[in-house]
């Protein structure tokens, strides 16, 4: 397969720059993978597509304020994007500066916090802060909006670029399918007999990277931490026994579930790359946003719903002026059996 097979033309004005006025006010495109049928709905109609005994699996990761601004000891400006906290005062980070920092360089970020570059590890820098990393991010960090969102983060972003069920800090990008739910919607689903379960996958910045090569199969995914609790495994077995369907809320929840199903490991690191031909073992349905051209996420949803089905659905979404990417509209895909 060629990366170019997963390209499409998207007018720039369809890239959502702000969230909908209310979380559940987005649109919902419903794709039946078996028949290829497409239906235009509102997101608040989702409950009518679910029944008692079904299971929703949510990713409860919490986005950290990963972006810091500062300067080098030489005075040059620098941006430090914390990709992963590895210990109390150490982290792996991306950096943007006029000249690439080197091991031993010293930086100052935020309100005067000292940062030392310990080593360069591939595209990342291992750095040590003069105080606990999480405390620095909470005090001085900025919401890590995606590169295609052009405005500076504000108080609205601090709230809306976070799911209402976020609990475990560690993500540097939101699990965006979950942004459409508010507590009223979750209570409504529970009230009609739909079960809710949690997984954790700490989304990395690599989620925004397009595939670099032309051959899809040669792509190597970035590694992300995940956990599938035993309670969630029990809920999946109960749903199946009752004839219910498992709906993964977001590609990150889907990757966590399939990582567990593939390896038998309930927690660890996953670099699972899902592309057409993959054999899904857990989810029957996937709720997701619309993804970037030539991205691993678009390839994943193509594997789930069928490449030609998804290509037609995206063309339909463009014609119907759906809103795309992190702050955009949603898509519910029924996996062909």
What local confidence, expressed as pLDDT, does residue 207 receive? 80
pLDDT tens-place string over residues 170-223: 999 999 999 999 999 999 999 999 999 999 999 998 887 778 788 999 888 889
Mean pLDDT of 267-275: 96
What local confidence, expressed as pLDDT, does residue 121 receive? 86
Mean pLDDT of 249-259: 98
What local confidence, expressed as pLDDT, does residue 38 receive? 98
Q: Which of 62, 51, 333 is nearest to 195 (CA)?
A: 51
- Give phi and psi for 227, each to the nearest 5: -150, 135
For the chain, the 3-state helix, strand and coil shares in percent, each to the nearest 5, are: 30, 30, 40
pLDDT tens-place string over residues 221-250: 889 999 999 999 999 999 999 999 999 999
**What span, in angstroms and rounded, lies between the C-alpha atoms of 273 and 309?**
20
What local confidence, expressed as pLDDT, does residue 335 receive? 97
Mean pLDDT of 67-88: 94
Q: Please check the confidence at residue 337 and state whether its pLDDT lies above 80.
A: no
What local confidence, expressed as pLDDT, does residue 184 receive? 98
Q: Is 52 exposed, middle or buried (0-12, 13-18, 19+ CB in 10 A)?
A: exposed
Q: Please check the confidence at residue 96 and state whether its pLDDT lies above 90.
A: yes
CA 290 vs. chain centroid, Å, equals 11
What local confidence, expressed as pLDDT, does residue 220 receive? 87
What local confidence, expressed as pLDDT, does residue 122 receive? 80
Mean pLDDT of 87-102: 93
Computed over every residue of the chain, the mean pLDDT equals 96
| Confidence grade of residue 39 (pLDDT, cut at 50, 70, 90) | very high
């Amino acid at each position: 397969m060629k990366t170019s097979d997963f390209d499409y033309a998207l007018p720039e004005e369809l890239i959502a720059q702000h969230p909908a006025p209310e979380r559940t006010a987005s649109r919902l495109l419903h794709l039946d993978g078996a028949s290829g049928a497409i239906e235009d709905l509102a997101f608040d109609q989702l409950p009518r597509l679910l029944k008692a005994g079904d299971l929703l699996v949510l990713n409860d990761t919490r986005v950290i304020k990963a972006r810091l601004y500062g300067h080098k000891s030489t005075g040059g400006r620098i941006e430090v994007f914390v990709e992963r906290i590895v210990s109390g005062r150490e982290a792996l980070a991306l950096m943007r500066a006029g000249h690439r920092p080197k091991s031993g360089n010293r930086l100052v970020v935020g309100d005067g916090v000292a940062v030392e570059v310990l080593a360069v590890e591939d595209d990342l820098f291992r750095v040590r802060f003069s105080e606990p990393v999480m405390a620095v991010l909470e005090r001085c960090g900025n919401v890590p909006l995606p590169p295609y969102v052009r405005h500076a983060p504000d108080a609205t972003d601090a709230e809306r670029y976070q799911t209402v069920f976020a609990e475990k800090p560690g993500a540097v990008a939101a699990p965006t399918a979950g942004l459409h739910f508010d507590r009223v919607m979750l209570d409504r689903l529970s009230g009609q007999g739909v079960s809710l379960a949690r997984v954790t996958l700490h989304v990395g910045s690599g989620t925004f990277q397009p595939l670099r090569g032309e051959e899809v199969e040669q792509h190597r995914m970035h590694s992300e931490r995940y956990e599938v609790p035993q309670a969630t495994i029990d809920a999946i077995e109960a749903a199946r026994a009752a004839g219910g369907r498992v709906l993964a809320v977001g590609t990150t929840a889907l990757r966590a579930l399939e990582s567990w199903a593939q390896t038998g490991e309930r927690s660890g690191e996953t670099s699972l790359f899902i592309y057409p031909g993959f054999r899904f073992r857990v989810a029957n349905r996937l709720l997701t946003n619309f993804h970037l051209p030539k991205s691993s996420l678009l390839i994943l949803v193509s594997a789930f719903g069928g490449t030609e089905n998804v290509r037609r659905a995206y063309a339909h979404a463009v014609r119907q002026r759906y809103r795309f990417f992190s702050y955009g509209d949603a898509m519910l895909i029924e996996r062909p059996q």
